[in-house]
Amino acid sequence: MVTVDREIVGKEFLEMALERCIKCSTCKYGYKNYERSCPSGEHFLFESYWASGRIRTIRGLLLGDLEWSKDLIDPIFACTTCGACSDSCQAPHADYIVDMIEALRELAVQHVGPAKNQEMLVSRCDEHCNPYGEDNSTNEDLKKKHNLPDKAEWLYFIGCTSNYRQQSLRDATLRFFKKVGIDFTLIDEHCCTSPMIRTGQLSIVHEYMNYNIEEIKKTGASKVITSCAGCYRTLIKDFKKYGVPHDFEVYHSLELVEKLLDEEKIELNSEFNHTVTYHDPCHLGRHMGIYELPRKIYKKIPGLKLVEMKRNRNFAWCCGAGGGVKIGYPDWAIDISKERLEEAKQTGASIITSTCPFCKTNLQDASDKYNFDFQVLDLMEIIDQLEINIKE
């Protein structure tokens, strides 16, 4: 068997490709219902753009049957890593297909580089500590505005997209935490490193992970909460995967909302009289298995009518923003989202909602470009519009 350089973090996942995939094509469509599920394969219509093709690419490279060239960049990086292939695959390696693709990207970065513009994710972080290239916010102004302590039980990890692009989501979350009396604080965050991991650019990953852990430790927080599906997945899965352990608990804001409702510590009093359809974020759904929790909360909101798109839960069509596609293939990212909005339109909903700032951004961009006239709201933004009764 051909071995992989030990310096490759995803070594074990690359070696899986040598003996696991039999090219049965189950990964190409929603298992048993044969719905379109892979944005990459459906767009490019070549085997190398499906999961089975990417695994074959790994095999060819490791065995020496395929040489590195710039022609491999698009087949390797034009993928949202949404995980639909993993959900449909029935083979023993099903749970590791996204890991295999990310390991392939790690290898590709060393030989031919990432896709166009994706290198900016690292260069911007090097200068500004966030992939958007915005002046770094220490969050001190937010701490002062909301009168937050330096030490607290909870730490709100805002995430770069909420802090620099979706501030309405950030502010709605902050107001909710204050309203329900959570003892929390903020830190001077560096990027959680999800964008770099998804694109195989690992040069700053360990440094940033360790920095964030040390900043969290200074607060004394035992619980970290985020309203970003990408941060949630990274803090729980990737820190462990990349050998950076921590001892704090990680929550998505939804889990806190559910807990408070279930324990009857809060009551949603006012009505939200709109028809809403929910988009499952890939990082929260297929990557972390959270499907029913948000739906449970929507159904407890007075006046809200929840309607489902044809493809939902583990069969949901990706919004198009993940895996570095938003920066590397921006026009295609919008077209992926356009297909999702066309499906949402069939439900009769006026609002499409999600629980991920990346999804919110890309769905709104597509709605604006193609004149869908959807209002795109995160669940926390909907809750922020409600009257909440705090029970003792």
At residue 383, the pLDDT reads: 98
Q: Is 175 exposed, middle or buried (0-12, 13-18, 19+ CB in 10 A)?
A: middle
Structure tokens at 30: 């929603």
Report the phi/psi class of residue 32: left, alpha or beta, with left for phi > 0 and alpha for psi in -120 to 50: left
Whether residues 158 and 288 share a domain: the answer is: no
Asked which of 228, 259, 290 is the last residue of a domain, the reply is 259
Whether residues 279 and 348 share a domain: the answer is: yes
CATH code (residue 99): 1.10.1060.10
At residue 106, the pLDDT reads: 95
Whether residues 246 and 134 share a domain: the answer is: yes
Whether residues 196 and 271 share a domain: the answer is: no
At residue 2, the pLDDT reads: 47
Its domain, for residue 86, covers 11-111
- Domain tally, the chain: 3
Whether residues 250 and 304 share a domain: the answer is: no
Q: Is residue 5 part of a domain?
A: no
Q: Is residue 66 part of a domain?
A: yes
pTM of the model: 0.96
Asked which of 229, 259, 289 is the last residue of a domain, the reply is 259
At residue 353, the pLDDT reads: 98
Asked which of 92, 111, 130 is the last residue of a domain, the reply is 111
pLDDT tens-digit map of 168-192: 999 999 999 999 999 999 999 999 9
Q: Is residue 1 part of a domain?
A: no
Whether residues 145 and 69 share a domain: the answer is: no
Sheet holding 351-354, edge to edge: 305-307, 275-278, 351-354, 375-378
Residue count of the chain: 392
Whether residues 329 and 237 share a domain: the answer is: no
Q: How far is CA 153 from the centre of its chain?
A: 25
At residue 360, the pLDDT reads: 98
Q: Is residue 3 part of a domain?
A: no
Q: Is residue 183 part of a domain?
A: yes
Q: Is residue 116 part of a domain?
A: no
Phi then psi for residue 162, to 5 deg, are -70, -35
Rounded to whole angstroms, the Cα distance separating 192 from 195 reads 8
Rg, Å, the chain Cα set: 21
Stretches where the chain sits below pLDDT 70 are 1-6
At residue 5, the pLDDT reads: 60
Rounded to whole angstroms, the Cα distance separating 61 from 319 reads 30
CATH code (residue 300): 3.40.50.10700
CATH code (residue 155): 1.20.1050
Whether residues 105 and 127 share a domain: the answer is: no
Buried b (16+ CB within 10 A) or exposed e, 85-105: bbbbbeeebbebbbbbbbbbb
Whether residues 252 and 126 share a domain: the answer is: yes
Q: Is 289 exposed, middle or buried (0-12, 13-18, 19+ CB in 10 A)?
A: exposed
Phi then psi for residue 331, to 5 deg, are -70, -40
